[in-house]
Amino acid sequence: MFAAKAQSPGARRIFLLSPASCSGKRAQILLRPEAQFELASRVHGAGAPLGEVFAFLSGLYFRGKAAYADCFARPPRGTLGAHVITATRGLLPIAATVTRQDLLGFDSIDIDPSEPRYAAPLRASAERLAESLPSRTDVVLLGSVASDKYTFWLR
C-alpha cells in the first residue's frame, strides 16, 4: 500500500483529495429538482465533473486542494494526478462525471472506516491504484490527516 515519505528527487507525485460534503446547504441548492442554474442542469442531466461539483459544494476548501494538485502533480504516464475519495465509489478521477443520483448516493453513506459500504470500495480502489504505480511515486493526501476516516486503509 502507500507509505508516507519525503519527496524523492525525480519521483512522480499524485494526490488523493478528501471529499466535499453532499449534505450541506450548497448541496441542497444543487440537488433541488427545480434548480436551473448551469451546473445543476448538468448534474441533473448527463452529469458534471466531480471536481467542479465538489468545488461548488465546499467552495474554496476543495477548490484550493484541486488547484494545488493541478499545479504540483507529476503523475506517472497513464495515471491521473488527482483522485477524489468518495463515500460509495472509492477513489475517482477528479474529472469523473457524476450525476444527481451519484451525489445522493454519496450522501447516503457515512464517511466512516467502520462503514463497509465506504471502506470496501475505498480500500479496493486504493489497492488497485497502488499496484498500478511505479515504486518511485509519492502519494499525497490533501485532507484531514487528524482523522482516521481517510487513512484507515494505510495500515
10-residue mean pLDDT series, the chain (155 residues): 52 93 94 96 98 94 95 95 96 97 95 93 95 93 72 60
- Per-residue model confidence (pLDDT) at position 143: 84
- Per-residue model confidence (pLDDT) at position 151: 66
Q: What's the Cα-to-Cα distance from 118 to each of 24, 67, 95, 101, 153, rounded to whole Å?
A: 19, 26, 20, 17, 11
Buried b (16+ CB within 10 A) or exposed e, 77-102: eebbbbbbbbbbbbbbebebbbbbeb
- Per-residue model confidence (pLDDT) at position 3: 47
Domain ranges of the chain: 12-154
- Per-residue model confidence (pLDDT) at position 4: 45
- Per-residue model confidence (pLDDT) at position 150: 65
- Per-residue model confidence (pLDDT) at position 72: 97
| C-alpha cell of residue 130 | 497502488
Q: What's the Cα-to-Cα distance from 15 to each of 26, 44, 59, 75, 78, rounded to whole Å?
A: 25, 28, 19, 9, 15
